[in-house]
Amino acid sequence: MSSTPSTATASHPVASPANRNRWRALFVLALTQLVVVLDGTIVNIALPQAQIDLGMTDTERQWVVTAYALAFGSLLLLGGRIADYWGRRRAFMVGMLGFGAASVLGGLAQNNTELIVARGLQGAFAALLAPAALALLTVTFTHGRERNTAFAVFGTVAGAGAAVGLVLGGVLTEFASWRWCLLVNVFFVIVGLVGALLFVTESKAEGDNRYDLLGAITVTLGLGSLVYGFSLAEGGWGTPQTIGFLTAGVILLVLFVVVESKVAQPLLPLRVVVNRVRGGAFLMQAIAGSVMIGAMLYLTFHLQIVLGMAPLVAGLATLPLPIAITAVAPVATRLLASVGPRPLMIVGPVIVAAGLFYLSFITADGGYVAQVLPGMVLLGIGMAFIFIPLQNVALSGIAPHDAGAASATVNAAMQIGGSIGLSIFTAIYVSASTHTAATTPGLPALTAGYSAIFVAAAIAMLAAAVIAVVFIRGPKAELMPEGAPDLVHIG
């Protein structure tokens, strides 16, 4: 009689406590992805009020966004390796605590410097938190339909999180204060910490685990120099400062690649990125990040500054984007199982590009329903087709020892793409709006700048479709493997 319960458990694994905890862990990890992506945009709606309150310049306003994405993206590889070696759940929880503390610091900031520093600290702790969460997802759901479902949920959250941040930011700014766009993270932190303690199993890489300090220094300084150089392009691409920082960034990143090819325990094993399919997925992630972080910022400026929407109304006006992503996600998940990821990753960017081209026709006297709404719906549909397969493909075939590093690369591609995209879009905006202002100042000059950004973003998404055609190749069984190697769990 004592054997009956174990037999039942074996016959019905879905009902087992371990199985139930796996899906509860998915909720916790998806919540983490939401707060990390959300914090890249939640302050966007609040920026006009925060700028007035703290007396920020336009450049300082941009750095409230850039500081988060820059610190996040440049430290992600180190954060991923710390998670691998130190323990993914432990890194997850420390990242959560630090993220919450930085959020409180930002919410209580009394000047622009404190706010920018707090946003940088948020990004630094997110660099520990995010790869730990994605690595935990990778080692918790190892193969088959459950893995596809888990990554579909995670991808939906990643795609919709940026837009959800805009809505939540509008609500909090309208009814409380822009400061609550940062303080609200305390709620997410509490839920994440409790959930991790109850439902998430510790895991880490086994073997000889040594930190690659030279690699960490070169990639962090290289990415930082590159992003800062692009941010200086607002004042001109040919200035000594712009050329100097861009050149230094490229040299340092080349040195990073050399270091990684020599050291025994590299920060980013080159085998993670030289794979054609994964490399293509990382490039697509970077382009998608430039659109979701960079272009969406200027869309919110159009809603508030040109169309005159209050923060709450502007936030609600972005709802069609996450609604479209959420509505299309189940369809994309079914198509993923039947046709594989490649068709989705080709069609998705084309649909997003169509939406961006539509948005490029905005005018100073145009309305939301005619000029903005259809474009946002197309963006949501296209992003669902991109994000549902993207992270699964980017992490396919990854050995458990490299789970944190690969997960960090996925997130780093998104954040660095967003940072560089925002800097480039800002330079394009300044050039286009200044040119138009010479003959037609005021709101028409602003819309000319926004329109130029949307055209540039659309071209970038068409390039992503070409990347999918060239790089995402192979049988569906190879792009979406049904099996995975044995994984190391602790506890």
DSSP code string of 101-153: HHHHHHHT--SHHHHHHHHHHHHHHHHHHHHHHHHHHHHHS-SHHHHHHHHHH
> Mean of the pLDDT values across residues 147-164?
72
- pLDDT for residue 251: 96
DSSP code string of 341-385: HHHHHHHHHHHHHHHHHHHTT--TT--HHHHTHHHHHHHHHHHHH
Same domain, 97 and 147: yes
Same domain, 303 and 218: no
Least confident interval from 2-6, 377-381, 420-424:
2-6
What is the share, in percent, of the chain residues with pLDDT greater than 90?
27
Same domain, 253 and 193: no
> Mean of the pLDDT values across residues 436-454?
90
For residue 293, is it within any domain?
Answer: yes
Q: How many CB atoms lie within 10 A of CB 453?
A: 30
Cα dihedral value 27, 29, 35, 37, nearest 10: -120
For residue 146, is it within any domain?
Answer: yes
For residue 486, is it within any domain?
Answer: no
Q: How many CB atoms lie within 10 A of CB 452?
A: 21
For residue 491, is it within any domain?
Answer: no
- The string of pLDDT tens digits covering residues 68-84 is 877 887 787 788 888 88
Does residue 440 carry a pLDDT above 90? Answer: no
Same domain, 83 and 187: yes
For residue 3, is it within any domain?
Answer: no
Does residue 9 carry a pLDDT above 50? Answer: no
Q: Alpha-carbon torsion 25, 29, 30, 32, what sign?
A: positive
Q: Which two structure tokens, joined as six digits, stand for 238?
A: 């040919």
| Last residue of one domain, picked from the residues 266, 292, 307 | 266
Same domain, 255 and 348: no
| Domain with 226 in it | 212-266
Q: Which residues contact 23 (CB under 8 A, 6 or more apart)?
A: none
| Last residue of one domain, picked from the residues 246, 266, 286 | 266
Total domain count for the chain? 2
Same domain, 326 and 459: yes
Same domain, 275 and 250: no
For residue 207, is it within any domain?
Answer: no
Q: Are 192 and 35 in contact (CB under 8 A)?
A: yes
Least confident interval from 31-40, 46-55, 157-166:
157-166
- The string of pLDDT tens digits covering residues 198-235 is 888 887 766 666 778 898 899 889 988 888 888 787 77
